[in-house]
Amino acid sequence: MPHDAKLRTERVDYTDPQQGAELLRLLNDYACDPMGGGQALAEEVRQRLLPALAGTPGTFSFLARIDGQAVGLINCITGFSTFKAAPLVNIHDVYVDPEFRGRGVTRTLFEAVEGEAQARACCKVTLEVLSGNLVAKAVYARLGFDAYVLDPQQGEAEFWQKNLRQPASYPG
């Protein structure tokens, strides 16, 4: 990062029009990226997202800014670890504008999340990553993340999903 560039994070207020627009722009850029599925967010999703985030307990996001420009995003959802009987934070989305990658943006976003997780007395921070996203996996490993293993003989945990049909009128 250039010596004079200022990198900082700020917690997103989902009701703030500017922050909301920046979150939607960055999340849409992520969705359009091959690592995000390669498809823009549907307009219906764009319309519902900010109110849904604001109305979901335990959800929080941070924007990373360089010289005031929003260049990175991280969305998180608080969950619960039954094995530790304590809350946890799941990092759901991480995105950095390609022009600003390699400049410490991800590290700065993760530091903000860890601070928030500690303030919430969380026992851990979790995330999911595509097996082929070697760059992200290397960054996450440098930040102290590793595959989830309870018993090495049983292997690593895998993150699976089953898509459900969404109700016609989703609350939110």
Whole-Å CA distances, 112 to 13, 96, 103, 146, 170? 15, 15, 16, 19, 31
User: CB within 8 A of 70, min separation 6: which ones?
Assistant: 22, 25, 26, 63, 64
d(CA 136, CA 140): 6
For residue 76, pLDDT over 70 is answered with yes
Q: What total number of domains does the chain contain?
A: 1
Q: Is residue 31 part of a domain?
A: yes
What mean pLDDT comes out for the span 138-155?
93
For residue 55, pLDDT over 90 is answered with yes
Q: Is residue 53 part of a domain?
A: yes
Q: Is residue 167 part of a domain?
A: no
Q: Are 95 and 32 spatial neighbours (Cβ–Cβ below 8 Å)?
A: no
pLDDT averaged over every residue in the chain: 93
**What is the Cα Rg of the chain in Å?**
17
How high is the pLDDT of residue 142?
Answer: 96
Q: Is residue 165 part of a domain?
A: no
For residue 83, pLDDT over 60 is answered with yes
Q: Which tokens sit at 119? A: 């303030």
How high is the pLDDT of residue 32?
Answer: 98
How high is the pLDDT of residue 160?
Answer: 85
What angle is formed at CA 145 by the lines to CA 24 and CA 81, rounded to 5 degrees?
80
What mean pLDDT comes out for the span 145-158?
91
How high is the pLDDT of residue 79?
Answer: 97
d(CA 26, CA 40): 11
Q: Is residue 163 part of a domain?
A: no
Q: Is residue 166 part of a domain?
A: no
Q: Is residue 80 part of a domain?
A: yes
How high is the pLDDT of residue 169?
Answer: 59
Q: Is residue 16 part of a domain?
A: yes
Whole-prediction pTM: 0.90
Most distant CA atoms of the chain, gap in Å: 51
Q: State the residue range of the domain holding 130.
A: 7-154
Q: Report the CATH number that the domain containing residue 67 is assigned in CATH.
A: 3.40.630.30
pLDDT tens by residue, 103-144: 999 999 999 999 999 999 999 999 999 999 999 999 999 999
